[in-house]
Each structure stands twice: as C-alpha cells, then as structure tokens.
Amino acid sequence: MEGNERHALHYRLLMAVDIQGYSKRDTSEQLLAQRQLSEALDRAARGVGLDRSRWDKQVGGDGELATLPDGIDPAPVAGDFAIGLAGALREINRAAAEAGARFRLRVRLSLHHGTLTAGPFGPAGDAPIVVQRLLDAGPLRRLLSADPERDLAYVVSDSLFDDVVRTGFCALSPDAFQPIKVTAKGAVFRGHILTDRTALAPAGGTGGESGGSGGPGGEGPAGDARVFDFPALAAR
C-alpha cells in the first residue's frame, strides 16, 4: 500500500507543443522563438482563465510537455485555448515580419487526457506517450510543411475528441477535424487533426490563422491528412 500511495495514478489533461524548424535557427533566433512561444502560450492560457505557472512542465529547447492541474474543464482548453494560441501566433508573426525576422513562429500542438504518475524525469504512463506520439505524427508535421501560411497544426487524441469535442461544449466543431491512425514503435495511436484553418480564424475573419483556404477534404494539407509516415495505416 505504501508503494501505491507514493506512485498514485492521476487522470489529467496533457498538452505537448513543439516549434517547427527550430534547428534551422541560430542561437539568438532560438532564444527569440522560446520567448515568443512562452508569450503565446501565456496569452492563450489567460484567455481561458488559466495560469501556466501552475502547470507541471517538462521543457525542452523547442517545446514542452505540460500536465494541467486537476479539475480543469477540458472543453475550453480543447477549443478556446487553441483558437487563442492561433491568434497569439498570428499577432507575434505579424510583428516579427514588420521587424524583418527571418522566421515565423510555427507550432505543433497536441492534447490528450489520461492517466499518469509523477516520476524523477517527468510524468510516466500511457498519457504522456500518447500526447507525444500524436505531436510527432507525420500528418501533423505535413500540415505545416505543405502550407507555408499555416502557423498552428493541432491534434487531439481519439478519446478526447469523443469525450470533449463531440459534446458541443467545445468552441471547435467536430467537422473541422479529420481522423488519423498512426503506428510508432509497434503501437497504434489514434487522433483527430484540425484541418479546417478557418476554424481558427478570429470572429468574422477569413482565411484561418494566417489567411488562405483549406477546409476538410479540400486542396492542400487537408487533402493529405490521411497520408501517413513512419509506417502507418489509413484512418478508419
């Protein structure tokens, strides 16, 4: 019993984020990207009434894995947070372009809820693995590589999509997503990628987070969302 108490399982919301093309930047540009990402995440979190200082974060140079506090309502995080992050990226990149920066801040974001336990090197359990595998999924990476105007590529796990996005309490419509199934290291991971960029546009705006088009099943990355890497199987 004592060992179980020391290593109790917790059911939490997890978020993973990564900067696209980080290694192509020089050191000063990497530091700038880190500051910009932290600012964008802070702004998106404040927009849904959350304080990132209370999140348990496992950070790397180009992103972080965050475990949100117990009791967080997942619907605003799955919907309004993602919309707010897209808006923050849009404003940061507009200012960076005006300042003559070489790179825009382009980000991959994944979200999952599940069980984990605290460990000496970060959270352990299935949930951290799921959220990281989805973050690294080939279709998510291709949303950015195939569409230079897209600043945010966003995926939610299959279980979070069913439990949260489908409920109608999420600000993002289920129709804006397409399902994926990928295999990595012998395991299967299912998720739903937001392929309709217009879903992340500001109210009354057009063209997604940076302009342009590309809804589900259309031309560009949305049409490629069922083509997979490392090896993978078709979504079903």
**Contact indicator for 89, 25 with CB cutoff of 8 Å:** no
Beta strands in 117-186 (DSSP E): 152-157, 177-184
pLDDT in tens, 177-199: 999 998 888 899 999 999 998 89
**Contact indicator for 209, 89 with CB cutoff of 8 Å:** yes
Look-up of token digits 């939610």 = 156
- Whole-number pLDDT of residue 235: 37
The whole-model pTM stands at 0.84
pLDDT in tens, 11-46: 999 999 999 999 999 999 999 999 999 999 999 999
- Which residue type does 175 have? D
Residues contacting residue 86 through CB under 8 Å, at least 6 positions apart: 151, 152, 200, 208, 209
